[in-house]
Amino acid sequence: MGSTSDSSIKVLNKEDEEALIGQVEIWEQMCSFTDSVALKSAVELRIADIINRYDHPIPLSKIVKNIENAPSPDISLLQRIMRVLVRRKIFSAEKSESNGETLFGLTRASKWILLDGTNMTLAPMLLLENHPLHLSPCHYVSDIIREGTKNGTAFFRCHGHEQFEMTGLDPEYNKLFNEGMVCTARIVSQAVISGYKDGFNKIQTLVDVGGGIGGSLSEIVRAYPHIKAINFDLPHVIATAPEYDGITHVGGDMFVSIPNADAVYMKWILHDWSDEHCIKILKNCRKAIPEKTGKVIIVDHILEPEGTELFSNTGFAFDMMLLAHNAGGKERTEENWKWLFKETGFPHYNIIKIKALPSIIEAFPI
């Protein structure tokens, strides 16, 4: 019988050990994209949903039988995907006491990639972030570091259009993009409503700038039905927005003007834009709200260079995605936010941590 041992590692001198560990670290980073490949495959095949329908762990044979549009499924290939996802704790694996088969079950992680019968899912966002349109610009990052973005972002160099132009030109991408935004809006909105407590109570009118098709705003209005709300976004986005009670959809350009309201709400908007663009947006926000009682409610991540909190690493990953996708978009530290507020007439701000990737940042004109 064969055997393996890593005892040779234990007798390495310190210099050789450090070199070996460094090599391992590079290999792991080099291949880390394969985790997303496996996870995307599981979502597209609806593996989590298949297991969930049985309400208990099931063998690979049952999973394969329930995969839709699979005329000749290869169970050996699926087994390799599941092996990776079990190792990453996306699914669980246990031996059947009756026949020794491996039974695959859900974990706390795989419950977030369900698509059937749940609104609280990250599956659409996962499909968006792993779509070729989103991944391909990453191959142009070194180019924009060398040359800057005067000739376009990495996204533009790859596709010939900037990201937000693409949503207006490609209906399929626009749908994928909106579905990704809607699913995260539900998750973040729930955390905002729970964590903001009395923040919305005194607001009579609220405008959601860059509100997409209104999913995030509808959650707020449902929790605070006294609010008269405006969902404000580009005309081609508003054109696909469904009707919601208490919400008026308005098409326009946030760089030109913003509808007047007691407060402005922006979820994951400012991180898409450069400081220069953010200054224009925030100045328009200041014009739209009352001088003495108005406020801007920003829901965005606060990057902490030495952070060790639950979402700290995800914040850095988002910053890398913004580097590839947007014209100057970036995640910001608290000092970055403070500087923006100072430049745009918001001398006071308040940060509220919530149970989500972003935080709430209140900015006040006095």
Catalytic center residues: 271
To which residue do tokens 């965005």 refer? 300
**Residue 155 and residue 153: Cα distance in Å, rounded?**
5
With H, G, I as helix, E, B as strand and everything else as coil, classify residue 202. Answer: coil
To which residue do tokens 């006071």 refer? 348
- Looking only at the bridges linking them, the beta strands covering 58-59 and 228-233 are unpaired
To which residue do tokens 């405006």 refer? 230
- Crossing angle of helices 334-344 and 275-288, rounded to 10°: 50
**Residue 230 and residue 261: Cα distance in Å, rounded?**
8
Within 10 A of 302 (CB to CB), how many other CB atoms are there? 19
For residue 302, give the amino acid letter: I
Give the single-character DSSP code of 334. H
- Residues 193, 196, 201, 207: what is their CA dihedral angle, to the nearest 10 degrees? -70
Burial 306-324 (b: 16+ CB within 10 A, else e): eeeeebeeebeebbebbbb
Q: Which helix (H) or strand (E) holds 280?
A: helix 275-288
Within 10 A of 86 (CB to CB), how many other CB atoms are there? 17
